[in-house]
Structure 1
Amino acid sequence: MYTISINTFCSQIRQRWGHKLEPSLQEWEQVERERSAHEALQTLSTDPLEAPKNVARYLNPPSDTIYPLEYACHLLGDVSGKTILEYGCGDGVNTVLLANRGAKVISLDLSAELVDIARRRLQVHGITSGVDFIVGSAHDVPLPDASVDVVFGIAILHHLDLALSAREVHRLLKKGGIAIFQEPVRNSRLMRAFRKLVPNRSPDISPFERPLTDQELKDFAGNSSSYHSRPFTLPTSTLLTMLPGLHDSSAKFLAWDARMLSSFPPLEYFSSVKVISMTK
């Protein structure tokens, strides 16, 4: 079967909608469905089975971990018996991690194709209960008010209309519930401009898809009773891991970033990843 690269596909989509300065939310979501379906075709060729060590590392990670996803999982704490909404499950890699935490998981995604892959991934891992899937919009989740204890999302908010999704997350959380997100961040205009020059990056295809700023994340949490963020990854590490022979040194670079961010807090402005948590 003939397939085109994701970069070519996204470029074609961008050209289709490029004449519209403000495409409607429905039009944008349709574009996202098309792109997700294309990504799903490419995902089918990958092994859905995660190595046991890659699952175990997220069950009880330390608070001082240098890895953002581990830190997001650390913030979950003990979720046994609680209900987690996975806000944008994609192909189910993180669904497997959440399903092993003893919670009831509701995994939402706009793409039916990616949800099918997520279901198959759970089957391969022997997970037969405790997870329900919903194919639907993150802007309008078909769940009752105050129905979940945790909303958990990895690289999802920067795809969304923040005002709509903020209201939806607040609506869905129970009183005292927590929302945890890991998101790409670019506060510096220079870094946002440089991002467009980075090779091997899929082009944006909607007016909503872009790295966020610290202020946008704070505004997203505006109705919360508490808010916390932690920075990860400085631009130098991202650049160095692109150089030949240095990709396998990423752990060393992340550890260096963690030390620098801890020792010199103003560097947080230049971090490219944030893990945030907010309590209703």
Structure 2
Amino acid sequence: MIVTERQHRERTHFDRVYRRAERTQHLRIPPHDLRRYGRCDDWRTYGKECAFHYLKPLAGRELLEIGCGTGVDSVLLAANGARVFAYDVSPEAVEIARKRAEVNGLADRITFVVACDLSAAFAGRRFDRVFGNTVLHHLDLTGFSEKVRRVLRPEGVAVFREPVVLDRWLRRLRRCIPWYPSNPSPDERPLDRQDVAALCRGFAGVELRQFECLSRIWPLLRSSWLIDCLHRWDRELLEGVPWSRRFASVLVMRLTGHCPSARETP
């Protein structure tokens, strides 16, 4: 397996993170979460529920998960009926993910591997769904859209949930705020408009939904009631005031179909 310098930095960083975290990992998925991401009743309010909603139906579908981490989403997807093929750059993360699948009784529905590239993770295989949750902003996205199209079956769906900074002035402001939390790994950064356009290129169907404008401050709050209110106010704001979407901090993308004009390299 060929590993670039960037991938090596990411692997080293997350191996260290997950090595520390393993002692405090709660492997069993709470019943509340299984119900929540099975039903997705609040998919217009919360980005992760929206992503799971966009993936439906999952029963009987083969799904590729990019950057599975410790397997939380892998288990939720398998519990919803998908046959999950998941990979991550971190061996430490994959080890925890395998334990989590076993504890939740879904090890027979999930295959985990250590890999750095979606083309090589399950070479020669094509999928009904491709999914990534807050992972693309860690990657070099050169040629990524084409790779996704190559592994998707003709009627397949790709869904990604990512942190974004879509407004250029907000991006500049973000760099100038000394107390703004630094990116936790060396190479990651929120996606910008150019990144989103490149990811969507070559797909015939593109659906974008923005989240977390006012509620971007939720990590600073302690009240779950107030956090929930902010998310619901965001839903009304982002649905009712289109220009506010440029200030969202999370974007969910649903990509389908191939444009006939999309260039494919041999």
1:118 partnered with 2:110: no
Structure 2 counterpart of 1:273, from 247, 250, 255 = 250
Cα separation, 1, equivalents of 2:96 and 2:105: 14
Query: How far apart are residue 217 of structure 1 and its match?
Result: 1.2
Structure 2 counterpart of 1:162, from 141, 148, 153 = 141
Gap runs ≥5 in structure 2: 258-266
SS in 2 for 1:81: coil
Structure 2 counterpart of 1:180, from 159, 180, 201 = 159
Counterpart amino acid of 1:219? A
- Identical counterparts, % of pairs: 31
Q: Residues 75-154 of structure 1 correspond to what in structure 2 (within 5 A)?
A: 75-138=54-117, 140-145=119-124, 147-154=126-133
Structure 1 counterpart of 2:226, from 246, 249, 252 = 249
Q: Residues 159-238 of structure 1 correspond to what in structure 2 (within 5 A)?
A: 159-196=138-175, 197=177, 198-206=179-187, 209-234=188-213, 236-238=214-216
Name the counterpart of 1:4.
none
Structure 1 counterpart of 2:48, from 53, 61, 69 = 69
Query: How far apart are residue 214 of structure 1 and its match?
Result: 3.2
Q: Cα RMSD (Å) of the superposition?
A: 2.1
8 Å contact kept, 1:240–1:246: no
8 Å contact kept, 1:80–1:102: yes
1:36 partnered with 2:36: no
1:47-101 superposed Cα distances (whole Å, 9 cap, x missing partner): 2222111121001213753110001001111122111001110011111111101
Gap runs ≥5 in structure 1: 1-23
Cα separation, 1, equivalents of 2:104 and 2:65: 18
Cα separation, 1, equivalents of 2:163 and 2:203: 21
Counterpart amino acid of 1:26? T
Cα separation, 2, equivalents of 1:164 and 1:119: 30
8 Å contact kept, 2:157–2:254: yes
Cα separation, 2, equivalents of 1:213 and 1:112: 29
Cα separation, 2, equivalents of 1:64 and 1:113: 31
Cα separation, 2, equivalents of 1:64 and 1:104: 22
